[in-house]
Each structure stands twice: as structure tokens, then as C-alpha cells.
Chains A and B, each alone.
Chain A
């Protein structure tokens, strides 16, 4: 198990770097992170299943100006690991699936606090960089940036280790405590979660035609899905 955590920390660190500090090529998106963590802990499909729902939750929270959106990368690290470990023991039934997604909210908010903390420390690094440049050290700019990057990466590794650890613990010790009956009752909330994600997309893609286009497509795909399900 130790090597799985090492790998999760390394991959999580890379994904966290992509989130703010480097590239922004979307390696930090929940779908990618949850699938990766699922693969690391033995079940990429379970990771992808939770990642596909988690992907849309926070889309409407834009990283604009000084606002720091909730950490959906961390939430995905938790959910992907939890889903992968829970899948063989509970079969990742509706109740466990719902519980993992709802519990992920704590990690999204904890990650946001950590992100703000890193950015505050970066303020000190930027200040030192400026002071060094004033003294004539041009290389301070490169050192300052490297320090900032290292801080982002280090925080990413620590958060990934902590969140995947929490995910594995939840799947191993919390979820099996609830019987199939309880999990079945909990699963009544499951249909609400994808709709929350769809509402996120709807609210950030507002144009004059959005409402008509969105609900017409929803009705059409709903009909096709239902037909395919009942027909075969």
C-alpha cells in the first residue's frame, strides 16, 4: 500500500501544479484526478464514475482576480481513492457513491484554505524577490519563482497524501459500518448530484438561447435514454 500512496502523492503534486502554478492544461480537473487516483488504488472505472459527477460541481466558481475557488482537485483525490477502495468491498452501490461525493465537499473546502495559505506565503517570497532585485540580484526572480513553484508542489503532495489517505480510511472503515439497507436509503440523494453539476454548466453558459437549448436537449436525451432502457 505504501507505494500506492507514494505514487498518489507524486501524481497529485503534478496535478496540483497544473491547477495554479504551471501550464493549466486541465490535468487538475476532477475527471482526470479521480480516474488517476482510482487507477493508483486499483479501480480506475470507479474513480472515473465519481470524477464524471464531481467534474461539473464547481464549474461556476471561476478563478477570477483574488478569488480562490473550492479545491475540486483535492475533492477528486479523496473521492477517486475512496471509490476505488470501496468498489470491491461494497460494489460502490448508490449509497456509497453518494456518500463519497457528499463527503468530498469537506476536502474541497480544506484544500481551498491550504491554497490561500500558500498564496499568502508567496507574498513573502515576492517581497524578498523584490528586495533582492533592488540590491542588484537579477537571479532572485528565478529563485523566487522556483520557491513559489516548490511551495505549490509541496502543498499539492501533502494534500494529495492526506486526502487519498482519508479516502482509503472512509472506504475501509466508515462505509462498511453501514448495512445494505442504510446505503440503499442514502442513495435516494444520488439523482440530485448530477443535476447540481448540470445546473453549474447551465448557470455559467447563460446566453439568450441557453434555456431553450439546454432544456430541449435534456428532454430529447431523456427520451432516448428511457427508450433504450425500456427497449432493451
Chain B
């Protein structure tokens, strides 16, 4: 067994900051592999300060395929640092690190994608889009604050939990209850999305001046939202729909 001091405060800070570049060299073969190796490098340099061969092996371990949701990568990064510390001290088998990363990146990716891309971002986006109609800066501020309050907190707390070891990471995940929060944010996005659709439809309906026109516009709005949703489910992309609309516009001008 080799005596290894824990990661210094400065090393910890550098690893945490470097996680923001996890996708800095995103590629199809190894995906976030270079980014992960880059993020954990300050820790490896400390743990294997006087063992360059071991350091090299450790870096190669982290250059293997890696891909997860970037913010959730913080938890895996923290836990990987803790495991490397143990491996450097001879307390655990270094092969466990790769197994741990592979085991966790899929589930973290699934949780993170559903929460960040599927719930939090739509909610922040639609809130920003609504408020931007009152003032652009208010809209932008709302988008950035709503998203980043949670985003940065997950990056910080997730990393700290990971640094406490695998048990710490799992305990944090349980406490964070991201699956419940995903449902809540999705509901928030649905409410704001409905408000956005209602506001725009109401604006256009108001131009007609008659209640009948307004009712027809509202029903047409509901039908269009349903139609687009069905098209999205059938893998028709927004670009295809927009191109079709552009074609319709050109035909209108043609006549």
C-alpha cells in the first residue's frame, strides 16, 4: 500500500472548473473521452506525483469511451477522483474505475437528458420567450437564471457528493430526486407552453374583431398544436415542417 494524501484544495478546484470543458473535444469515437481525461488530470498529477508510469496508465484509463449528460458528468467525475485516490493508495483495483464509469454513465445520461434537455431547458426557454415579449433583457435573464440555478447547483453538489465516494453519489442522487423534479419541470413547461400558445393565438384572433373569428382561431390553434405533435412523433423534423411552410409561402407569392 502507498501513502497518498487526499486531493488538495487547489486540485479539487481545478478539477471542478475543468468539468465545464468535458465536451471540449467531443468526437464520434470516444465522445467525451478527451474532456474527461483533461478534467481529472490535475487529480492524477497529485496522486501519482512521483510515479510517472502509473500516471500514464491512469490517463489512458480515462481516454477510453465516455459519454453522459454534461452536468451529470460532475457526479461521475467526483466519484472517479475518489476511486483514483484509493487506487493510487492501493486500496482498490484500478480496473474498478473503468467498470464504475461505464456502469454509471448510461444511467446518469438517461436521468440527465430527461431532466435537463427534456424538462428544465424547455421550461426555462418558454419562460424566457414569454417574458422577452415584455422586454428582451427580462426574457434572457429569466432563461439564464431559471436554467443555471439548477444546472450549477447540480454541477457543484453532484461533484461534492461524488467526492464522498460511490455511496455518497448514490445517496445524493436519491436525495436530489431528479425523476420527481423532471415531472414537475415538465408540468411547468406545459403550463408555460400553453400560456405561450394562448397569448400568440389571442393576439392574432384579436385582429379579426368578431367572437366567431376568435373561436375559429382558437380551435385552429389547438388543431395545429396537435397536428405538429403527431408529426414530431412520426419523426418529422421541425426543419421539414418549416421548409414546407416556406414552400407554401413561395406558392402564395407566385400567385
Are B147 and A26 in contact (CB-based, < 8 A)? yes
Are B252 and A186 in contact (CB-based, < 8 A)? yes
CB A49 to nearest CB in B, in angstroms, measures: 8
Q: Does A204 contact B (CB under 8 A)?
A: yes
Residue in A20, A63, A205 whose CB lies within 8 Å of B187: A205
With known contacts A24-B71, A133-B63, A203–B34 Cβ distance under 8 A: no
Q: Nearest 8 CB-CB pairs, A to B?
A: A225-B202, A148-B25, A217-B194, A221-B198, A199-B228, A201-B193, A48-B136, A229-B206
Are A204 and B118 in contact (CB-based, < 8 A)? yes
**Which positions 46-70 of chain B face chain A at CB distance < 8 Å?**
52, 55-56, 59-60, 63, 67, 70
CB A151 to nearest CB in B, in angstroms, measures: 8
Among B5-13, B82-90, B120-128, B167-175, the one that faces the other chain is: B120-128
- Interchain CA distance A207-B55 in the complex, whole Å: 47
15 other contacts beyond A122-B34, A225-B202, with CB at 8 A cut-off?
Answer: A21-B21, A59-B121, A61-B238, A120-B27, A145-B21, A148-B26, A186-B253, A198-B197, A198-B225, A201-B189, A202-B190, A204-B118, A205-B123, A206-B186, A217-B192
A-B contact pairs, 6 of them (CB 8 A): A22-B20, A31-B132, A141-B63, A191-B204, A202-B190, A205-B123
User: Which residue, of B52, B56, B214, B225, has the highest number of chain A Cβ atoms within 10 A?
Assistant: B225
- Please give, as numbers and ranges, the residues of chain A lying within 8 Å of B20 by CB-CB distance: 22-23
Q: Interface size on B (CB < 8 Å)?
A: 97
Q: Does B246 contact A (CB under 8 A)?
A: yes
Are A229 and B203 in contact (CB-based, < 8 A)? yes
Q: What string of 1s and 0s marks CB contacts (under 8 Å) between A112-129 and chain B?
A: 000000011011011101
With known contacts A29-B128, A48-B132, A141-B37, A22–B21 Cβ distance under 8 A: yes
Q: Does A51 contact B (CB under 8 A)?
A: yes
CB B221 to nearest CB in A, in angstroms, measures: 6
- Please give, as numbers and ranges, the residues of chain A lying within 8 Å of B239 by CB-CB distance: 70, 105, 108-109
**B interface residue numbers (CB < 8 A to A):** 20-21, 23-31, 33-35, 37-38, 41, 45, 52, 55-56, 59-60, 63, 67, 70-71, 109, 113, 117-119, 121-126, 128-130, 132-133, 136, 139-140, 143-144, 147-148, 151-152, 183, 186-187, 189-206, 214, 217-218, 221-222, 224-225, 227-229, 232-233, 237-239, 241-243, 245-246, 248-249, 252-253
CB A186 to nearest CB in B, in angstroms, measures: 5
Are B228 and A196 in contact (CB-based, < 8 A)? yes
- Please give, as numbers and ranges, the residues of chain B lying within 8 Å of A103 by CB-CB distance: 246
Instruction: Report the tally of A-B residue pairs with Cβ distances under 8 A.
Output: 341
Q: Does A130 contact B (CB under 8 A)?
A: yes
Q: What string of 1s and 0s marks CB contacts (under 8 Å) between A127-163 and chain B?
A: 1011001101010011011111100100000000000
Are A218 and B195 in contact (CB-based, < 8 A)? yes
Are A102 and B242 in contact (CB-based, < 8 A)? yes
Are B33 and A126 in contact (CB-based, < 8 A)? yes
- Interchain CA distance A122-B152 in the complex, whole Å: 27
CB B156 to nearest CB in A, in angstroms, measures: 13
Q: Which residue of chain A has its CB nearest to the CB of B138?
A: A48
- Interchain CA distance A148-B23 in the complex, whole Å: 9
Are A26 and B148 in contact (CB-based, < 8 A)? yes
- Interchain CA distance A226-B56 in the complex, whole Å: 67
- Please give, as numbers and ranges, the residues of chain A lying within 8 Å of B125 by CB-CB distance: 29, 31, 55-56, 59, 201
- Interchain CA distance A231-B83 in the complex, whole Å: 66
Among A3-11, A85-93, A165-173, A208-216, the one that faces the other chain is: A208-216
Residue in A53, A105, A127, A205 whose CB lies within 8 Å of B129: A53
**Which positions 57-71 of chain A face chain B at CB distance < 8 Å?**
57-66, 70
Are A225 and B140 in contact (CB-based, < 8 A)? no
- Interchain CA distance A133-B53 in the complex, whole Å: 11
- Interchain CA distance A149-B24 in the complex, whole Å: 5
- Interchain CA distance A67-B27 in the complex, whole Å: 12
Are B67 and A25 in contact (CB-based, < 8 A)? no
